[in-house]
């Protein structure tokens, strides 16, 4: 009889605890969805606004970080409330829910590396070396900042790969940000011609090809600073090396335009008789040298 009463009490306890867990999870899932919905609408409103692009990206970055911060706090609160349902851990959970209890839990359970990532993520959002949507180059990869969480940053590369970089790592790396202030870039394409070729004629062809390309900024932006130009960079062993400078709306467009120009310039050089050289070597056979000595 006593065993039956004990088993009934235990069953009721486990049932109440299970219901408690489900209710807490449902409430916090609803709060998380509600906060995310509000922040998403706020982000859409910012995107549609007439604010400068710089301001939009800064605000979107802070919204993304805030969303991740709220999610983390809600998870911690849910765990603590679930623990409060266990009598042996009730006192502990209530003490942790005190004013400084949440931070004590974070510091107690997080590793040093995790804390470093979290702190770096907060500083990245505050000081903004890059923002969500910025185009950057890091680890010799060109890509766009897709997400900034409390732990890591996600970069979507030009070939649609995702690089997940811990915040503490990216905070210490030198990056090239193509989106600070403006995304317009000056790009270059190098090509060599033979010493017998006409340099002025080659430079004229290169500039014409750059001007004709639809991605060149001179088609949309007015001003002498956007005009393509060519410089002789080196008189090498086999070639006179020329470098074409041109402007594009961003680095991704410039990268593709550079390849297009290399092809179109080569074809035009072939039509106009401009030679792209290859190494010349004179081979002397030892037997020939011996024959010449005998003749002498």
pLDDT 10s digits, 72-122 = 777 777 777 766 666 555 555 555 555 444 555 555 554 566 777 777 877
- Give the domain-ending residue among 144, 177, 210: 177
Phi, psi of 293 (to 5 degrees): -65, -40
pLDDT tens readout for residues 236-286:
888 899 999 999 988 889 989 999 999 999 999 999 999 888 776 667 666
Of 105 and 132, more confident: 132
Give domain status of residue 103, yes or no: yes
CA–CA dist 59, 42 (Å, integer): 10
Report the distance separating Cα 32 and Cα 28, nearest Å. 6
pTM for this entry? 0.58
> Is residue 141's pLDDT more than 50?
yes
Tell me the range of 20-24, 49-53, 249-253 where mean pLDDT is highest. 249-253
Residue 170's closest CA among 146, 148, 151, 153?
153
**In which domain, by residue range, is 253 found?**
185-272
Angle, in degrees to the nearest 10, between helices 101-109 and 87-96: 110
* Tally of structural domains, the chain: 3
Q: Parallel, antiparallel, or unpaired for β 135-138 and 185-193?
A: unpaired
Note the pLDDT of residue 290: 61
Same domain flag for 193 and 242: yes
pLDDT at residue 203 greater than cutoff 90: yes
- The verdict on 150 and 59 lying in the same domain is no
Residue 288 above 70 pLDDT? Answer: no
Percent of the chain with pLDDT over 70: 74
What distance, in Å, lies between the first and last C-alpha atoms of the chain? 127
213 shares its domain with 242 = yes
pLDDT of residue 229: 94
pLDDT of residue 25: 78
pLDDT at residue 1 in the model: 46
CA distance 155 to 163: 5
Distance (Å, whole) CA 57 – CA 61: 6
Whether 161 and 256 share a structural domain: no
Residue 120 lies in a domain: no
Q: Are residues 146 and 197 in the same domain?
A: no
pLDDT at 17: 66
What is the average pLDDT value for the chain, to the nearest integer?
78
CA distance 228 to 203: 10
Q: Cα(154)–Cα(152) distance, rounded to whole angstroms?
A: 7
């Amino acid at each position: 009889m006593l065993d039956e009463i004990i088993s009934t009490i235990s069953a009721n306890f486990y049932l109440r605890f299970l219901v408690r867990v489900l209710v807490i999870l449902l409430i916090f899932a609803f709060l998380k969805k509600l906060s995310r919905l509000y922040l998403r609408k706020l982000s859409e409103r910012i995107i549609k606004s007439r604010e400068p692009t710089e301001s939009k990206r800064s605000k979107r970055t802070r919204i993304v970080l805030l969303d991740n911060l709220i999610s983390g706090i809600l998870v911690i609160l849910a765990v603590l409330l679930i623990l409060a349902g266990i009598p042996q851990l009730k006192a502990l959970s209530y003490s942790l829910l005190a004013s400084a209890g949440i931070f004590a839990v974070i510091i107690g359970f997080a590793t040093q590396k995790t804390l470093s990532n979290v702190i770096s993520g907060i500083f990245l959002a505050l000081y903004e070396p890059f923002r969500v949507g910025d185009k950057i180059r890091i680890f010799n990869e060109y890509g766009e900042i897709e997400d900034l969480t409390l732990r890591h940053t996600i970069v979507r590369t030009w070939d649609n790969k995702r690089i997940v970089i811990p915040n503490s790592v990216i905070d210490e790396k030198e990056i090239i940000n193509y989106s600070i202030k403006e995304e317009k870039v000056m790009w270059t394409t190098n090509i060599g011609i033979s010493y017998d070729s006409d340099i002025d004629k080659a430079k004229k062809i290169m500039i014409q090809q750059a001007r004709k390309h639809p991605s060149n900024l001179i088609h949309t932006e007015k001003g002498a600073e956007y005009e393509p130009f060519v410089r002789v960079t080196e008189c090498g062993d086999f070639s006179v090396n020329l470098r074409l400078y041109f402007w594009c709306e961003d680095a991704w467009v410039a990268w593709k335009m550079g390849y297009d120009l290399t092809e179109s310039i080569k074809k035009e050089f072939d039509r106009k008789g401009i030679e792209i050289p290859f190494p010349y070597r004179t081979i002397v056979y030892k037997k020939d040298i011996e024959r010449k000595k005998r003749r002498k």
